[in-house]
Amino acid sequence: MSPMNDEHAPQETPDPRPREDGWAGPEQQDAQHSGPSPHPSPEAHRSPEPAFPSARPEADPAPPVAGPRSGEPYGTAAYGPVPYGAEPYGTEPYSAEPYGAAAYGASSQGAEPYGAEPHGAASYDTAPSAAPAPAAQPAPAAAAPRRGPGWGGVSALVALGMLFSSGATLGGVVVYDQLLSPQPAASSQETPSSSADARPAALSMDEAPDWAAVAEQVSPSAVAIMVSTGNGTSQGTGVILDEQGTILTNNHVVDGGQALQVTTSDGLSYSASVVGTDPSTDLAVIRLDSPPEDLQPATFADSSTVTVGQPVMALGTPLGLENTVTTGIVSAVDRPVTASGEGEGSEATYTSALQTDAAINPGNSGGPLVDAAGQVIGINTAIAGIPNESGQAGSIGLGFAIPSNTATLIAGQLEEDGTAEHAFLGVTSADGSASQEETTYRGAEVLEVEPGSPAADAGLREKDLIIGIDDTPVGGAAALTGVVRGLASGSTHQLEVVRDGAVQNIDVTLGVRPS
């Protein structure tokens, strides 16, 4: 997917041999979907366009071969984004277009999608006092859906855009659309500061959500991020991790930035510096140069407990409109999303994402998705949408977030030394299917097992069909890659494999993905 301002439509090109180890390196050459690109400046920034998992997830995701195994609630096949900037996973990719949003207070410079391969990032537009009225546009024509491996295919093509205000798009579902928005004229709106002592506690998840209380509780933990580049400015969102001013956001939000300005919920601004970035997961950590003493860190929940239908709230700076909250539900979990960046050397991003219908737009990139208790369950990173004449897309109820467990795993590593390592399985895979009596399974078919790899040590063989990892269904090569990337190297997991017509379990201890 591309940045929110980017005009990327998810494009999925089936790759002959995706890798199931979860890394998109030479082994994942199969994924040809264009993914979200990093957010560029309002005009120059383009977020990678997310696309649904292409033929080669893991190391080299390949296009989806078969449908999800029977009985699975959500298609495990990845959606492939169209021009937006995400690569299609196994089903028809959604094209994600960058969300253009005006920068925080700066006059909006044409924000262009920033191209970040892995996560389509749409540039965040900082919202002006009043959002500019959109020019009349003819109804967008639906693009032909793309095919992707893992998830159930979606027939309609949707543009995935990154949530960057400056101009990047994310490919969601298969592709991440990064929500970056370009920055418009300075906004005259002032954001009221909130007192931690006066904040009411959010209700438990057993009760009807008190969204007013949740917003008051969580807003102080979300910040707006304005990024200055050689081409202008773009805007995104971040989540406060500690009282020292450490902030988690999307890589496509800060990629290519020359200066960072962070605005807290009380309207005060601070300069910040990048601590570390991880393009393969579209995550980045920044830190305030001179943090205030009253920062309120966010509380993170265990994303493995998130369920479909669960109420959620998204916070951020869509189109430059600071302190914006929207609500919805979790539409799906473990959604394979692939995003490819623009430019040579850009890395594709594979994520087993949370899907939500809470409105997410350019500028939301890097912002928190919280549950009814006010705890962060995901980091908003992409959307699927139908592009308009300008190549941008808005919310159509298909947003994607990086699960909190993955976000905290990577953030912890980035805080230590600015880099992150990823789990490695060691197989090249493609979307495939297998039948057992009257049951047909869809998953990631092993095309090749790398000698000496964790997969080889575990006894995986060519033609094995991986249909699950622990309790997570794997519907294709891209899905396999996304799931593996969300796991820690050195951890042991149980693979559910179909071999010679029989289902069996194989334990594997993941290694470290080669750099």
Confidence check: pLDDT of 473 > 50: yes
Instruction: Give percent above pLDDT 90 in the chain.
Output: 47
**Phi, psi at 218, each rounded to 5°:** -95, -30
Domain end position, chosen among 403, 418, 433: 418
Does some domain include residue 135?
Answer: no
How high is the pLDDT of residue 385? 67
Total tally of structural domains belonging to the chain: 2
- Helices and strands in the chain: count of H runs, count of E runs: 5, 25
- Both structure tokens of 403: 């699960």
| Domain match, 485 and 384 both | no
Domain end position, chosen among 366, 396, 418: 418
Please tell me the distance from the alpha carbon of residue 308 to that of residue 165, in angstroms, as a whole number.
28
How high is the pLDDT of residue 206? 61
Does some domain include residue 59?
Answer: yes
Does some domain include residue 467?
Answer: yes
Q: pTM for this one? A: 0.65
Contact 434, 499 (CB under 8 A): no
How high is the pLDDT of residue 29? 37
Does some domain include residue 8?
Answer: yes
CATH number, domain of 446, equals 2.30.42.10
Confidence of residue 456 (pLDDT cuts 50, 70, 90): very high
| Domain match, 407 and 266 both | yes
| Domain match, 369 and 305 both | yes
Contact 361, 380 (CB under 8 A): no
| Domain match, 152 and 244 both | yes
| Domain match, 222 and 340 both | yes
Does some domain include residue 23?
Answer: yes
**Phi, psi at 480, each rounded to 5°:** -65, -45
> How many CB atoms neighbour CB 138 within 10 A?
7
Lowest-confidence segment of 173-182, 277-286, 433-442, 453-462 by average pLDDT: 173-182
- Positions annotated as catalytic residues are 252, 282, 365
Does some domain include residue 333?
Answer: yes
CATH number, domain of 209, equals 2.40.10.120
Confidence check: pLDDT of 112 > 70: no
| Domain match, 346 and 487 both | no
How high is the pLDDT of residue 305? 96
| Domain match, 57 and 98 both | yes
**Phi, psi at 247, each rounded to 5°:** -130, 140
Domain end position, chosen among 375, 390, 418: 418
How high is the pLDDT of residue 384? 84
| Domain match, 61 and 167 both | yes
pLDDT in tens, 118-165: 333 333 333 333 333 344 444 444 333 332 333 333 322 334 444 444
Q: What is the mean pLDDT of residues 307-326?
A: 92
Q: Are strands 178-182 and 159-164 parallel, antiparallel or unpaired?
A: parallel
| Domain match, 110 and 257 both | yes
Contact 7, 98 (CB under 8 A): yes
**Closest listed residue to residue 231, CA positions, set 434, 486, 5:** 5
Q: What is the mean pLDDT of residues 267-275?
A: 96
| Domain match, 310 and 430 both | no
Does some domain include residue 174?
Answer: yes
Residue 387 or residue 246, greater confidence: 246
Q: What is the mean pLDDT of residues 418-431?
A: 95
Confidence check: pLDDT of 486 > 80: yes
Confidence check: pLDDT of 56 > 50: no
| Domain match, 202 and 250 both | yes
Lowest-confidence segment of 154-168, 228-242, 349-363, 450-464 by average pLDDT: 154-168
In angstroms, the Cα distances linking 237 to 120, 123, 132, 284 are 15, 11, 20, 11
Please tell me the distance from the alpha carbon of residue 225 to that of residue 223, in angstroms, as a whole number.
6
Segments forming the whole domain that contains residue 65 = 1-130+140-418
Contact 31, 78 (CB under 8 A): no
| Domain match, 310 and 343 both | yes
Query: What DSSP assignment string belongs to 61-116?
Result: -B---SPPPTT-SS--BPPPP-TBT----BSPPPP--EEP---SSSPP--------
Most confident of 24-33, 105-114, 301-310: 301-310
Confidence check: pLDDT of 433 > 50: yes
Residue type (1 letter), 10: P
- Within 13 A of 508's CA, how many CA atoms are on the CB side? 34
Q: What is the average pLDDT score of the chain?
A: 70
> How many CB atoms neighbour CB 230 within 10 A?
10
Does some domain include residue 122?
Answer: yes
